Amino acid sequence: MRFRLLPYLEALAGLVAVTWLAVAQPAVLGLASAALLFLLPVLLAATRGGVGPGLFAALGGAAAYNFFLIEPRFTFQIHRFDNLVSVFVLVAVALVTSRLATRLTAREAEAREQARLSAEVAELSALLAGSPASSALDKGIAALTERYGAVRLLDGAHLPERDAAFSSLDLSAAAWSAHNGDTTGHGTEVMPAADWTFLRLAPKNRTDSGIAAVARPSDGGTRAPVELDHLAELALLLGQCRDRDLLGRERRERERLEQGDELRRTFLASLAHDFRTPLTVLSGRLSELASTSEAARDALGAAHRLERLMADLIGAARLESGAIAPAHDSIDLTDAVAAACEALAVPPDITLTRAVPADLPFAAGDPVLLHHVLVNLIDNALRHARQQVALHAEAAQDHILLHVDDDGPGIPEAECERIFQRFQRLDGNDRESGSGLGLAIVRGFAEAMGMTATASSAPLGGARLTLAMTAYRAALQ
């Protein structure tokens, strides 16, 4: 405790006043009353100044009482035992009162401090409750920075390694805090030499790597454990606000993505729609003429190719934009193969054979996507075949394999992967009628449904394209 002069002066003034009163009015105040009067400065000094001034007043009072009031006056001689008692009483009063007063003051200070801390928590809570959460968080951090010095929020999983504000010791302390959930760094027992104190943003029982960093006090002092506890509480409040901010961000991001998806879907649907209307007129009119005109027949064939090219382009766009959500249905391959074969015009010089066993397990997939896949596979085979295209399906353990074989030029082994890439045609031959997208869509749609598409050599001499599907395992009653 620092030495303060004022209480001593006050005590002295009190003593002088009381002594003057007692000496000046001896007739009014008896000796006993005068002795009681000397208690006043003692109580006053002990309450206001503590033990030192209290004792000073007690001893001074006893001396003044002795010197000015007790016979023989103006000497310090004590003749009677009861006079000695009054000295003792004054000293005892001084001691007891000062102890009580000190304790009371301390408790008062403690209560004041507690109230201040609670007010700070409430104030921060109010700041952080504001919206939007991100600006509330900034305001909260600013308020804490003003009171405690620099405050930063860190992610323990991505600590700012290159930040000049944090030494390697700081980063170690931060990592420890993020990992073990303790408060670390300055003022704590864990790496106290660090320049920052690191506190968790979330309660210890939650896996969360967020931490708050509070700089060491600028006056060079050390933060007390009480203050650290308080800071830990404030850090949790910051953590709650950060959670709110993150949730809001996630929600906004999700909404943005959903809107984008919706927009893409709508765009692709309307694109398909806009293509189909003129194509309908074109192919409808041409097919009316096709029976009599070879030119119209050729044009009709071109219109049909255009139709499929459009379907492929839109399919590619759907794959690109991720706007595909495959259904998971049971599919009888007999149905799927029949529908795909019907959708295609088989050239008169090619025979298309199919062998789908009647006891084949059902496959799992999206019927519409699979239809597109099969149409493209068979169309690809028809375009490369010389005379023959053969489809056959077989069950192999958990899988169902569909092979599409042709007797065309085949695919060199080294190219078997490349043909599934976009705009790839072998030998740089660009006079063929394919779009270069067909097999890319086969692979893209197949993978979206959890199927695989591969190429190899067919027993017929040409290419074999194989679609491997998973069996549909829903229990039948």
Residue numbers at the binding site for another protein (CB under 8 A): 269, 272-273, 276-285, 287-288, 303, 307, 327, 329-332, 334-336, 338-339, 342, 354-358, 362, 366-368, 370-371, 472, 474, 476
Q: How far is the CB of 367 from another protein (least distance, A)?
A: 4
Helix%, strand%, coil% for the chain, nearest 5:
60, 15, 30
Which is nearer to another protein, 31 or 339 (by Cβ)?
A: 339
Sequence-separated (6 or more) residues with CB below 8 Å from residue 93:
39, 42, 43, 46, 58
Q: How far is the CB of 288 from another protein (least distance, A)?
A: 6
Distances (CA, A) of 195 to 145, 163, 167, 192, 226: 15, 13, 8, 8, 18
Distances (CA, A) of 339 to 219, 335, 394: 83, 6, 19
Three-state DSSP at 446 gives: helix
Which is nearer to another protein, 94 or 370 (by Cβ)?
A: 370
CB atoms within 10 A of CB 283: 19
- Give strand pairing partners of 393: 402
Q: How far is the CB of 197 from another protein (least distance, A)?
A: 58
Which is nearer to another protein, 155 or 329 (by Cβ)?
A: 329
Report the candidate in 181, 300, 191 with the shortest Cα–Cα distance to residue 232.
181
Q: How far is the CB of 399 from another protein (least distance, A)?
A: 18
Q: How far is the CB of 290 from another protein (least distance, A)?
A: 10
CA 123 from centroid of its chain's CA atoms: 25
Which is nearer to another protein, 308 or 384 (by Cβ)?
A: 308
Q: How far is the CB of 277 from another protein (least distance, A)?
A: 6
Specify whether the CB–CB gap between 296 and 329 falls below 8 A. Answer: no
Q: How far is the CB of 396 from another protein (least distance, A)?
A: 19
Specify whether the CB–CB gap between 375 and 340 falls below 8 A. Answer: yes
Three-state DSSP at 332 gives: coil
Q: How far is the CB of 451 from another protein (least distance, A)?
A: 15
- Give strand pairing partners of 421: none
Which is nearer to another protein, 259 or 270 (by Cβ)?
A: 270
- Give strand pairing partners of 392: 355, 403
Which is nearer to another protein, 158 or 273 (by Cβ)?
A: 273
Which is nearer to another protein, 288 or 398 (by Cβ)?
A: 288
Q: How many residues does the chain have?
A: 477
Which is nearer to another protein, 233 or 329 (by Cβ)?
A: 329
